[in-house]
Copies of this chain bind each other. A is one copy, B any other.
Amino acid sequence: MKFDIAILGSGNVAWHLSAALENAGHEITEVYSRNLDHARRITGRLYATEATDDLDFSESKARIFIIAVSDQAIAEVADAVILPENSILLHTSGSMPLEILEYSSASYTGIFYPLQTFTRNSALDFVDVSLLLESEDAETLRILKKLAASLSSPHYTVKSKDRKAVHVAAVFASNFTNHLIGIAEEIMHRQGLEMEMLKPLIIEQISKCLQVGAKAAQTGPAIREDYPTLEAHHQFLTYNEQLAEIYRLMSQDILDAN
């Protein structure tokens, strides 16, 4: 089933989603941005999509409208957009509840949240993007599932309350792990050592963790209760009090979880 879809927003999610939806055979009718040039950056890559800075979509042939703007701007766009009859309004945020769309002129509302990290200009196959779907309306949810399936994305129906938990979990599993690898980079560079030597370890550790679960994959001085090494590492880190505290707290949590 092919849909006519308008994208409201011009950031990374809008960029990736519009191309993926078009590739899946849907028609992207319009891309909206307050800044018309930003909208054109996206429509320039699409087949025949109008760029617009006008939120009046009463004449649009789209039935599905996807808000892909920053969390802070969702309510403003949802409240201002003028939609045709029988339209479905979706947002793509991990943090914002469904209710943020309730004062819009949409007949139906829902959430189409791609749980993934997007970088502009770097291709990403939606096969590798978990889509978290939500709607109060059964028919809308059915359409969201078809849309997700058309992208070949693994998809899950998740309530707003649970989606918040997923977002917190994602911060730990993705943002914070990234930052820890950044701390490792700094320790290596400070010592004049090549980060390259750590990469096979990181790849093997994460791959093992995703296969057997973190508990079974845990190694290192904390899980071994190797206090002399913990103490020596803590001493090593005294040049940066906050790093030493992260080391202490993470080690303590590994000890406690054991």
Where the two chains meet, the residues of A that have a C-beta atom closer than 8 Å to any C-beta of B are 71-72, 95, 115-117, 119, 122, 124, 128-130, 132, 154, 156, 158, 162, 164-185, 187-188, 190-194, 196-206, 208-210, 213-215, 217-223, 226, 228-229, 232-233, 236-237, 242-243, 245-247, 249-250, 252-254, 256-257
Smallest CB–CB gap between A86 and chain B, Å? Answer: 30
Instruction: Say whether, besides A173-B181, A178-B217, A236-B168, A204 and B250 are in contact (CB < 8 Å).
Output: no
**Chain B residues in 8 Å Cβ range of A199:** 130, 210
Contact indicator B181/A206 (Cβ below 8 Å): yes
* Closest residue of B by beta carbon distance from A206: B206
Contact indicator A220/B184 (Cβ below 8 Å): no
**Chain B residues in 8 Å Cβ range of A130:** 196-201
Our pick among B180, B197, B220, B229 for the contact of A154 (Cβ within 8 Å) is B197
- Cα–Cα distance between A194 and B219 once the two chains are bound (Å): 24
Contact indicator A174/B205 (Cβ below 8 Å): yes
Q: How many identical chains are in the complex?
A: 2
Contact indicator B198/A206 (Cβ below 8 Å): no
13 contacts between A and B (CB under 8 A): A115-B200, A115-B201, A130-B199, A165-B191, A166-B197, A167-B233, A171-B221, A172-B181, A172-B183, A174-B202, A177-B180, A178-B218, A242-B256
* Closest residue of B by beta carbon distance from A253: B242
Instruction: Say whether, besides A128-B203, A172-B187, A182-B218, A198 and B166 are in contact (CB < 8 Å).
Output: yes
- Cα–Cα distance between A128 and B196 once the two chains are bound (Å): 11
**Chain B residues in 8 Å Cβ range of A254:** 175, 179
Instruction: Say whether, besides A119-B208, A128-B200, A193-B158, A172 and B166 are in contact (CB < 8 Å).
Output: no
Contact indicator A165/B177 (Cβ below 8 Å): no
**Chain B residues in 8 Å Cβ range of A193:** 156, 158, 162, 165-166, 169
**Chain B residues in 8 Å Cβ range of A219:** 117, 174-175, 178
Apart from A171-B247, A176-B220, A177-B205, what 5 extra A-B contacts exist at CB < 8 Å? A165-B193, A168-B247, A169-B193, A181-B206, A182-B257
